[in-house]
Structure 1
């Protein structure tokens, strides 16, 4: 049941499959006779010094994969020095996650039908010392995820979206959209009204004004997550965003959306024309060091990985997540060496073979 929730996408899962396949279409035009005896994967994002251009993407309900849930993931990130982006649908309190890691923590946010909840979550992120906010903008409603219907997905006892629950301890009565929430993996029975919470956690009426209001109300940098169009990316920067995350929600929202490898290049160009200092991240289908190189060559500053972290968590808890991160960082270094790139700054557009 949990596997279907984590692994599945929306609709016919075309976008889910294409996310992975699109990276493989990009050939690397490696350089030769370059001194790569000292190859460094270190970089900086949002003023944070990172051991590699990698962040852990926001994914929900880690306690479905392991009893320690997000605490295990955060501890592994601390050991590896990799930032973690905490989902607002996490199964562990944000404050508890921040308390167990020395790595940077960012918070993923939805602006839903109860703006006061979003405001409270931002205040909690500020108080907990988070390094930024990722506002998800691709979810006016939840995608239709057939795997979850087929498996009868529900939350087992003891697993909940605790950060949202804190702000809605009693049934809230705002049922509009509850059916869409249930499609995200939430029957009201065993999960204690989670479908209702997910119903108001997102909103189809969120606009650019809400993004601008958020950017102006917090001292934290705000990245818009879920951008696939250059014009939307440019408008996000104009609204005050510090950057964008090119993402299609792991293929879990609009099936038929372009793969992130397809969107990244045009979006990166638009962002740089609007603000050369803005941050560009990407997720979706990234599984190996060569995918990270491809993303950097297309204009990203760093990548985010989601499902591989969940697989590591399910297989081995904290140690499993750490193993996934260590393997990816080592593979990034190996691929940079093989491609003739001694630093992250050497991974440029010229590294991609022409069509």
Structure 2
């Protein structure tokens, strides 16, 4: 299929499978373990039907929305996706320009192959930064300060990854970041106990030491090191939503990490209603559809 013949988003997946190396395609396309949630993320949408109303004046349509005080052209934003230069030489820079052209917000993965500074250089648009917390809290603090200096407007804290999900395709493929690419946001940071002799060591370093003790009390720590609003990414239940409201976060992203973490959890669209009800309008709730991938 030629690129100029694409008529819907799903067709990109077929082209990607044809063009990308198997290791790269599988990294983007696969989920955790049995991949039940991966399938459910998409199947759940097919069970939600429209109830169309007729004879309504639709000659003027306004899709604009406001997110954390920022006006965007539509209620759709770009979720963080790692290592985009594995798919295209321009990677996250092209995504940033696309978000700008569409008038919406891009969230940059901390595992990006373009730095916050490089993304910021594409133009003065509204962008959020996705953050993991490592055992060495100084690494997270440095990433936050770097995003602040680059003009990013919010932190999307991923909270569903105390350890990496078991992604069997990556295990079989012995996935590794291609040698010509670098996790750019970690360049120039003080990475203690790290042998800096190769880029692959950086990838191993940031994959390994997630802080498994990070908990609700530590949200306050993050709030003390940044004035940026903090969104919790990875919430699926009413119980956690109520605690998040009490913790004073700025919003919630209903996400199952693109089905790449814990398998046999609900599709995000199925979890959305209970989270919204629990939030009771006190903080905004966003949906990570989970059909296309997180990192």
> If the length of structure 2 is used for normalisation, what is the TM-score?
0.87
Partner SS for 1:225: strand
Residue 38 in 1 paired to residue 60 in 2?
yes
> Which residue in the other structure is 1:197 paired with?
206
Listed as ranges, the gaps of 5+ residues in structure 1 are: 174-187, 287-305, 311-355
Alignment of 1:7-22 (within 5 A): 7-22=29-44
Residue 209 in 1 paired to residue 217 in 2?
yes
Residue 271 in 1 paired to residue 271 in 2?
no
> Which residue in the other structure is 2:285 paired with?
280
> Which residue in the other structure is 1:228 paired with?
236
User: 191-200 vs 252-261, which deviates more?
Assistant: 191-200
Alignment of 1:127-146 (within 5 A): 127-146=149-168
Partner SS for 1:236: helix
| C-alpha distance after superposition, 1:237-271 (max 9, x if no partner) | 21110110000000000011111011100001111
Residue 59 in 1 paired to residue 85 in 2?
no
Inter-partner Cα distance in structure 1 for 2:30 and 2:198: 22
Inter-partner Cα distance in structure 2 for 1:17 and 1:214: 34
In angstroms, what is the RMSD of aligned CA positions? 2.1
> Which residue in the other structure is 2:249 paired with?
241
Inter-partner Cα distance in structure 2 for 1:257 and 1:19: 10
> Which residue in the other structure is 2:90 paired with?
68
> If the length of structure 1 is used for normalisation, what is the TM-score?
0.73
- Residue pair 2:256, 2:290 contacting (<8 A) in 1 also: no
| C-alpha distance after superposition, 1:48-96 (max 9, x if no partner) | 1111001110010011011111111111111111210000101111111
Inter-partner Cα distance in structure 1 for 2:86 and 2:188: 19
- Shift of the 92–132 alpha-carbon distance from structure 1 to 2, 3 Å rule, reads same
Listed as ranges, the gaps of 5+ residues in structure 2 are: 1-22
How far 1:171 moved relative to its partner? 5.3
How far 1:189 moved relative to its partner? 8.6
Instruction: Pick from 57, 71, 82 the counterpart of residue 49 of structure 1.
Output: 71
Greater helix proportion: 1
- Residue pair 1:58, 1:84 contacting (<8 A) in 2 also: yes
Aligned length: 272
Inter-partner Cα distance in structure 2 for 1:247 and 1:82: 19
Higher relative contact order (CA 8 A, sep 6+): 1
| C-alpha distance after superposition, 1:287-323 (max 9, x if no partner) | xxxxxxxxxxxxxxxxxxx54x99xxxxxxxxxxxxx
Partner SS for 1:54: coil
- Shift of the 75–162 alpha-carbon distance from structure 1 to 2, 3 Å rule, reads same
- Residue pair 2:257, 2:290 contacting (<8 A) in 1 also: no
Partner SS for 2:44: helix
Alignment of 1:162-173 (within 5 A): 162-168=184-190, 172=194
How far 1:190 moved relative to its partner? 8.0
How far 1:157 moved relative to its partner? 1.7
User: 253-262 vs 119-128, which deviates more?
Assistant: 119-128
Inter-partner Cα distance in structure 1 for 2:222 and 2:191: 25
Partner SS for 2:39: helix
Residue 108 in 1 paired to residue 130 in 2?
yes
- Residue pair 1:63, 1:159 contacting (<8 A) in 2 also: yes
How far 1:209 moved relative to its partner? 1.1
- Residue pair 1:250, 1:285 contacting (<8 A) in 2 also: yes
Partner SS for 2:165: coil
- Residue pair 1:171, 1:193 contacting (<8 A) in 2 also: no
Inter-partner Cα distance in structure 2 for 1:8 and 1:16: 8
- Residue pair 1:229, 1:263 contacting (<8 A) in 2 also: yes
- Residue pair 1:77, 1:101 contacting (<8 A) in 2 also: no
> Which residue in the other structure is 2:183 paired with?
161
